[in-house]
Amino acid sequence: MKVGIIGAGGYAGGELLRLLLTHPQVTEVVAGSQSLAGKPVTAAHPNLRKRSDLAFVPYDNVTACDVLFLSLPNGSHRANEFVQRGELVIDLSSDHRLRDAAEYRAWYGDEHPHPDMLGRWVYGIPELHRDDIRRSARVTGAGCNATATILALLPLFAADVVDRTRPVVVECKVGSSEGGREPSEDSHHPERVGVVRSFRPVGHRHTAEVEQELALGGARPRIDLSVTSVELVRGALATAHVYVKERIDEKELWKLYRARYASEPFVRIVKESRGIFRYPEPKLVAGSNFADVGFALDPRGDRVVALCAIDNLVKGAAGNGVQAMNVALGFDEAAGLGFVGLHP
């Protein structure tokens, strides 16, 4: 199988290369980068030394692919240029995540240049839309903060125990790689190291994805999402405060989470009674496609704190895309995604 990547020079593009180069069904990878064309992929991704002798090629050379990944910056809106070059196209950007043009305008501040395309792409979290992904040739990635938030909350919304008349308050703590490869003032080492910086206390664009996806055919929930930059390179930890319709006990919470996730290959329920690893922790999923979810029950019984830790570049981007590719093409869902993370 031939797989192409448009935008292979970025962090998510590098993760796609890392995963696809060892994928059992992939025989050819084409790494497209306009700025790096002609250079070896190891110039941008030195971790691939002795794993690949590929060189970057111009976008014009990424053609006739069985699968094409678009790993371009959010707001590029270039899918129409490339969509005919792959039988299956997976867009990791935010350009097609929302289904409504007015919603896109409200959260992104601009008119979508191709509003007719919205709603034609499947929102590509397999744990949420596995059957739709199997039937689609156009899949969109999900935001990393949205992925962590959705997976933390999905069992509660799916079981309809959430009081939707009250907001769900979510705090996401995120690593620096979420900002992408291009440097900026806030990624400059003296300004970034050691910080716990409120990055987007209100109005984060991933809010719209979470509200859209967790409606689940019912009333659209209100999600109040804040994002804080912390001293990590990789990782996102979503901590969501949820009020339930009726008092609930821990035994019932276990049932809800197990019912939703027991058969999921990449979701692990992390809730221990003792020790330092009682709850999800981003460090333990770094480099992997796992999403560790957990919960804590307020002693008063009406509030659940739901948590999810992911690697923002893997389960929050490239790994989720490869998982969606596996689902769409009928492969083993875990193919190419066997890395379990490191400890310590």
Whether pLDDT at 11 is above 90: yes
Q: What is the mean pLDDT of the chain?
A: 96
Give percent of the chain with pLDDT exceeding 90: 93
pLDDT in tens, 21-33: 999 999 999 999 9
pLDDT for 216 beyond 90: yes
pLDDT per position as a tens digit, 270-295? 999 999 999 999 999 999 999 999 99
CA dihedral (10, 65, 340, 261) in degrees, to 10, reads 110
308 is catalytic: no
* Helix-helix angle 206-214:101-108, to 10 degrees: 150
Query: Which of 54, 39, 45 is closest to 10 using CA atoms?
Result: 45
Q: What is the pLDDT of residues 145-189, one digit of tens each?
A: 999 999 999 999 999 999 999 999 999 999 999 888 888 888 888
Query: Considering the entire predicted model, what is its pTM?
Result: 0.97
41 close to 47: Cβ distance less than 8 angstroms? no
pLDDT tens sequence across 88-126: 999 999 999 999 999 999 999 999 999 999 999 999 999
Q: Are 93 and 69 in contact (CB under 8 A)?
A: no
Residue 80: exposure state from Cβ atoms within 10 A (0-12, 13-18, ≥19): exposed
Contact 70, 93 (CB under 8 A): yes
Tell me what pLDDT residue 189 has: 86
